[in-house]
Amino acid sequence: MRNQSVPFVSSIILGIDPGSAVTGYGVIAIQSHGFTPIDYGCIRPPRANKLSERFVVIYDSIGELIEIHNPDAVVVEMQFFYKNAQSALTLGMAKGAVMIASKKKGVPVFHYSPPVAKKAVTGTGRASKYQVQRMVQQRLNLAALPPADSADALALAICHAQAAEHVKARKEV
Amino acid sequence: MRNQSVPFVSSIILGIDPGSAVTGYGVIAIQSHGFTPIDYGCIRPPRANKLSERFVVIYDSIGELIEIHNPDAVVVEMQFFYKNAQSALTLGMAKGAVMIASKKKGVPVFHYSPPVAKKAVTGTGRASKYQVQRMVQQRLNLAALPPADSADALALAICHAQAAEHVKARKEV
């Protein structure tokens, strides 16, 4: 089915920038001539939801995205240094939801730190949110600037797609 | 089935002390005369497993425990202050696995901080691991001292069982 809509696809990658409030996602196809955007957007569990229900929304949404797009890899932002341990805990729960949803569907999970993903797309690990949005728009030939969370997710997908050549740490977690 | 093995059960509680290496669990039944231990132990995902696979092991194991014991509530240790943000992130993933597994089975999730759980069982929020083990053994009339991780999980279950009377924060998360 994938090959009907996007010709010569060798690989589909789902990038995810997890968060308990907003989880950005972006799907790209690797083709012989470059990358093609397939889908991108944000998962926003209702704010009135209990914390545990929000993670179920993330878990279910990732499962749905995997069923729709059948990716070969899921790529998650993974940062191991946080100023705030409480936000690290909540983010950990969201990342856990993404990892389990992916593995339960049989899709391998890879991770990259934000500087590595930024560098892969913009050339610098210290790029601003806006620079990432601009470069993702340009690389994927998008008509509009993607929202910041989706842009980060698309950047992760692009980073992974380039990993064989440009990034050493292509490690399944 | 529950009522065949344990008479006059009004409620079954599954306490869980999540961790990426060791996740302790303990199941108790609330009866008219007090608490009865049903089961306790530890989930230890193979150390050779990738991080994402470990969370799947935790997720699946919690799902199995829920199917076996059919608890009315899952109680998770929840600490919001960590010295180390990296361990908070990993713990968050483990907690996320527990919360999603429970909600997917339709079981409500409650949380208590370690001092609240310790106080509920030992009378002091600053009890040592050993004091918790001893008091849990005594309260549940166990022949042997339960392992520390299981004792923490059993303490959470006891804490929740007592919550209506002794603890103000009985909040589903």
Give the pLDDT score at A81: 66
Q: What percent of chain B has pLDDT over 70?
A: 87
The pTM assigned to this predicted structure is 0.84
- Mean of the pLDDT values across residues B122-134? 95
- The answer to whether the CB atoms of A92 and B97 lie below 8 A apart is no
Domain boundaries, chain A: 11-166
Name which of A113, A106, A47, A39 is nearest A74 in CA terms. A106
pLDDT above 90 covers a percentage of chain B that reads: 72
Mean pLDDT, to the nearest integer, of A94-121? 94
Containing B50, the helix (H) or strand (E) segment is: none
User: What pLDDT is recorded for position B34?
Assistant: 85
Q: Testing the interface with A: which of B52, B57, B58, B170 to mutate, by most A Cβ within 10 A? A: B52
Which amino acid, one-letter code, is at B45?
P
Average pLDDT, stretch B27-53?
Answer: 92
Q: Note the pLDDT of residue A14.
A: 98
User: Which positions in chain A touch B94 (Cβ < 8 Å)?
Assistant: 92, 96
Poorest-confidence range of A5-9, A88-92, B161-165? Answer: A5-9
Chain B nearest-CA distance from A46, in A, is 14
Average pLDDT over every residue of A67-83: 87
Give the distance from CA A149 to its chain's centroid.
9
Assess whether A165 carries a catalytic annotation.
Answer: no
Chain B CB contacts of A97 under 8 Å are 96, 100
Q: What Å distances lie between residue A160 and A52, A67, A115, A140, B97, CA to CA?
A: 30, 20, 13, 15, 25
Angstrom CA distances, A132 to A34, B31, B154, stand at 18, 59, 48
Residue A166: the pLDDT is: 46
Q: pLDDT at position A33, please?
A: 80
Predicted local distance difference test score (pLDDT) of residue A172: 62
Q: Cβ contacts of residue A107 below 8 Å, gap of 6+? A: A14, A66, A71, A72, A73, A74
Q: How close A18 comes to chain B (CA, Å)?
A: 12
Asked if A171 reaches chain B (Cβ–Cβ under 8 Å), the answer is: no
pLDDT greater than 50 at residue A100? yes
**β-strands A11-17, B11-17 pairing:** unpaired
pLDDT beyond 70 at B172: no
From the list A104, A109, A103, the residue with the least C-alpha distance to A157 is: A109
- pLDDT in the model for residue B163: 78
Q: Which residue of B has its CA nearest to A85?
A: B85
| Segment A162-169 mean pLDDT | 56
Confirm whether B77 is a catalytic residue. Answer: yes
Q: Please, what is the average pLDDT of chain B?
A: 88
CB contact under 8 A, B89 and A100: no
Mutate to test the interface with B, among A77, A100, A109 (most CBs of B within 10 A): A100
Provide the token pair at B162. 């007592």
Contact B103 A51 (CB under 8 A): no
Do A56 and B103 make contact, defined as CB atoms within 8 angstroms? yes
Whether A85 contacts chain B with CB within 8 A: yes
Q: Quick check: A168 pLDDT over 70?
A: no
Q: Does A86 touch chain B (CB under 8 A)?
A: yes
Residues of chain A positioned with their CB less than 8 A from the CB of B52:
99-100, 102-103, 109, 172-173
Q: Which residues on chain B are in Cβ contact (under 8 Å) with A113? A: none
Tell whether the model's pLDDT for residue A153 goes beyond 70: yes
Question: Using 50, 70 and 90 to split pLDDT, how confident is the model at B84?
Answer: confident
Per-residue pLDDT tens over the stretch A7-61: 456 799 999 999 989 999 999 999 878 899 999 999 999 999 888 899 999 999 9
DSSP of A4-73: HHSTT--EEEEEEE--SS-EEEEEEEEETTEEEEEEEEEE---TTS-HHHHHHHHHHHHHHHHHHH--SE
Instruction: Choose the CATH number for A11-166 among 3.30.420.10, 3.40.50.620, 3.10.129.10, 3.40.50.10140.
Output: 3.30.420.10
pLDDT for A167: 41
Does B57 contact A at CB distance below 8 Å?
no
Q: What percent of chain A has pLDDT over 90?
A: 72
**Contact partners, residue A48, CB within 8 Å, separation at least 6:** none
Contacts of B73 in chain A (CB under 8 A): none
Do B80 and A86 count as a contact with CB atoms less than 8 A apart? yes
Predicted ipTM of the assembly? 0.80
* pLDDT confidence bin for B2, thresholds 50/70/90: very low
The yes-or-no answer on residue A39 being catalytic is: no
B142 at A interface, C-beta within 8 A:
no
Which among B12, B148, B137 has a CA at the least distance from the CA of B68? B12
pLDDT at A87: 83
Highest mean pLDDT among A56-65, A117-126, B31-40: A56-65
